[in-house]
Chain A
Amino acid sequence: MMKRMFCVLVVLVAFIAAAPAQSATFPEKEVQIIIPWAPGGATDLIFRALAVSTEKYLGQAVVIVNKAGGGGAVGYVEGSKAKPDGYTLVTAVTPLTILPHNVKTSFTYKDFEPVINVVRDPAMFLVRSDAPWKTTKEFLEQAKKNPGMISVGNSGAGGGVHLIAMAFEKAMGVKFNHIPFSGGGPSVTALLGGHINAVSVSPPEGISQVQAGKLRIMALFSEGRFDMFPDIPTCKEQGVNFAMGQWRGLAAPKGTPAAVIQKLHDAFKKGMEDAGFKKNAKDMAVNLSYMSSGDLGKTMAADHEFYGILVREIKK
């Protein structure tokens, strides 16, 4: 009995002793980032660019693996079950805090350790340039007079921009007719063709149409103005008290050693500050917004709470 106890103790000590040794030499092989969406989306592209710019600071290759399906659930399950050694990361994006409320999932944000936040996208409503409303207030008045008659497209049921549109409607006391599409592209197309009245999007979706004057930004839900369109006032500036956006960062499976997280955080932070990456982000109209591991964790917890209340109200 004593002998067995001793063995267990030895193994435990060996593990504890080995842990810092492991993180001291980290990374010894390539680091993998799981993206729970198909290639080509906004999250996929920006992290592909970040992977390239971070490699030289990490000293190892950063490989992107797409695990699409189930509105992101497939990739997150895979990420939460991965070995917590820092060699497998996932992109932590707003839907991580929405999905567990919407459907039965085996994970929540608590199954992940936040590493770093990279992007914060403002959300906005776009309308056709020939739409009768000029300001956010006019748009809302119309919505108030005709509940359920203004159709608002979104990029997918239960996705970030869908819930932001719902939160907006709730905060303003109006009712929209929400039409889900499979992706931001199809929803913007339907708006261009005049099949719906407005669309809820995150940049870069619809940006080129706004630049060409075919679409207008009807309501901008960010705290500050949008770099690309400095003339467009935010909702708050127009006296409509509403601001919401989506974040995109990196997280590791629960239990990843803090020292490893710190190393990853530092490397990706340098990758974010790399001139080449900054140019890529600017070209894609992506709004870079650094947050430390701790701050990303707080944001995830707060949004988990917020979307939980919202989803429960919708499902009622």
Chain B
Amino acid sequence: MIESLQHLISGFEIATTVANLLYCLLGAIAGTLVGILPGLGPIAGIALLIPVTFGLSPTSAIIMLAGIYYGAMYGGSTTSILLNVPGETASVITCIDGYQMAQKGRAGPALAMCAIGSFIAGTLAIFGMVFLAPPLADAALAFGPAEYFSLMVCGFIVLSNVTGNSLLKSLMMAVVGLIIGTVGLDPVTGDYRFTFDSMYLLSGIEFVAVAIGLFGIAEVLSNVDQPLENLEQKVIVPRFRDLYPSLQDLKKSVGAIFRGAGIGFGVGLIPGPAPVIATYASYMVEKKVSKHPEEFGQGAIEGVSGPESANNAACQTAFIPLFVLGIPFAPPTAILLGALMIHGVVPGPMMISDHPDVFWGVIASMYIGNFILLLLNLPFVPVFANILRIPKKILLPVIMLFCITGMFTVNNSIDDVWLMVFCGVLGFVMRKWAYEAAPLLLALVLGPKLEVAFRQSLMLSHGSFRIFVERPVSLVFLLATLIFLCVPAFQWVIRKWIRRST
């Protein structure tokens, strides 16, 4: 403990040199930009800047590249809140309540709470990292295919009805997500499935295209669908006192931020799309503990501050398996691993002892980076909030342009843009009949992982399903899922029984 603190102090000495502060700032700015642009995510941002870092020391290089990753978590919420366009995948959930807040002239508080929540959660997660990294990394190893499968089942069942409107409709959307998630390369045999000899379908259905289509493009189409007078009048002018959160907003958000940080920290240790799962879980929890669950979906601030804190904590925590095990659990950390290796630092069990300057320097820079990001983001809140004053007839085409260019940059593929437009039309129709997009997107993320884990487990057990109940961690998750499913049924039976006996 004391030793960790001493190392951390020496890390701060490394991170606070003028050069390293500058690289941290550069990374934070680049990350925020990458997060704001829809489509372009931290992976592309880091990949683009790796060659720039070749002349730098490993510590400076990683400080800058890591800044892009967590900086993107700050920027990602901006377009979700203002335009209903998720800036990156971990900000899908933020669209739901963030956009509603913006429509009510409260974009400022939503944006500010995102920055504050991200800062608090990020800082807490780094604390957790400093003191708990090695034991936590070992705990993460306990997750084999069977455990992973049961966890995914649990997550899937619990989270698919995240907005809680109609269970039936949510499940339908989740199944659609599962089905389109099977398109592409079969992960076990290496054969192509449901590709209809199309080159484009070989790589599967692009998540980002579906997400931007179902949220962003569908939003534009819904706006266009209104009578013209409506559209011209409806300009949101935020009042000055609405630019920053009120005391009530802060009070409501404190619990959400800390819970979000906890969820993000826990989920971040699990391999896979941790930030996405963390945001869904946080939203679900906030809705369950809230005294006013009916506010969710209508612009509840907890529905913004919770998930945004969770994705930031999860993204910081993702550095634990990277640094301690040398294994990237998430795609952005995979590219950071490569960046470290190109600079002669091999992450893994030996990294803390072999390269203490890099390890502690980067950790210390994350504290500084989170602070820089807070300072960087808060002053821009009024600027961003005022974007909504632009008349819709100008704003809507600009959003379209933004989505199309952003989508193209992901894979340099025009087909992705067409898929996005198609999903936009689909999303528009879905809204008309009140089908939610969130369960579909969750299924699209989890489905392929679920399938791989399931088939791997059965291959390991030579076809026996007992592997799922014989392994304790896996059994716990399955039992939890069962309880979750049974509780409403029990409640119903008990209520009926009470009614009869009275």
- Tell me the A residues contacting B by CB distance below 8 Å: 38-42, 44-45, 48-49, 51-52, 64-71, 73-74, 77, 102-104, 106, 148, 151, 156-159, 162, 177-183, 185-186, 188-190, 192-196, 204, 207-209, 211-212, 214, 276, 279-280, 283-285
Q: With A and B bound together, what is the CA distance between A170 and B185 in angstroms?
A: 25
Decide if B185 touches A71 in the complex (CB within 8 Å): yes
Decide if B350 touches A179 in the complex (CB within 8 Å): no
- Please give the distance in Å from B416's CB to the nearest CB on chain A: 11
- Tell me the B residues contacting A by CB distance below 8 Å: 43-44, 46-47, 50-51, 54, 141-145, 184-192, 197, 199, 202-204, 271, 321, 325-329, 331, 334-335, 337-338, 341-351, 411-413, 452, 456, 459-460, 462
Interface centre among B43, B184, B188, B199 (most CB of A within 10 A): B199
Apart from A39-B335, A48-B50, A74-B203, 6 more pairs, CB < 8 Å:
A66-B411, A162-B190, A178-B459, A189-B327, A194-B141, A194-B144
Interface centre among A41, A70, A276 (most CB of B within 10 A): A70
Decide if A208 touches B349 in the complex (CB within 8 Å): yes
Q: Return 24 A-B CB contacts under 8 Å, by A number.
A: A40-B328, A40-B334, A41-B334, A42-B338, A48-B51, A66-B411, A68-B411, A70-B203, A74-B203, A156-B187, A157-B187, A157-B189, A158-B189, A183-B334, A185-B329, A193-B143, A193-B144, A195-B145, A196-B460, A209-B325, A212-B350, A279-B344, A283-B344, A284-B342
Residues on the B chain within 8 Å of A194, using CB: 141, 144
Decide if A204 touches B188 in the complex (CB within 8 Å): no
Residues on the A chain within 8 Å of B459, using CB: 151, 177-179
Given known A157-B190, A177-B459, contact A45–B271 (CB-CB < 8 A):
no
- Please give the distance in Å from A269's CB to the nearest CB on chain B: 20
Decide if A179 touches B346 in the complex (CB within 8 Å): no
Interface centre among A48, A69, A182 (most CB of B within 10 A): A69
Decide if B348 touches A209 in the complex (CB within 8 Å): yes
Decide if A188 touches B327 in the complex (CB within 8 Å): yes
Given known A68-B203, A185-B328, contact A204–B190 (CB-CB < 8 A):
no
Decide if A283 touches B342 in the complex (CB within 8 Å): yes
Q: With A and B bound together, what is the CA distance between A196 and B144 in angstroms?
A: 9
Q: With A and B bound together, what is the CA distance between A74 and B184 in angstroms?
A: 11
Decide if B187 touches A180 in the complex (CB within 8 Å): yes
Q: With A and B bound together, what is the CA distance between A150 and B477 in angstroms?
A: 27
8 Å CB contact of B346 from A51, A74, A102, A207: A207
Q: With A and B bound together, what is the CA distance between A51 and B48 in angstroms?
A: 13
Given known A103-B190, A157-B189, contact A204–B341 (CB-CB < 8 A):
yes
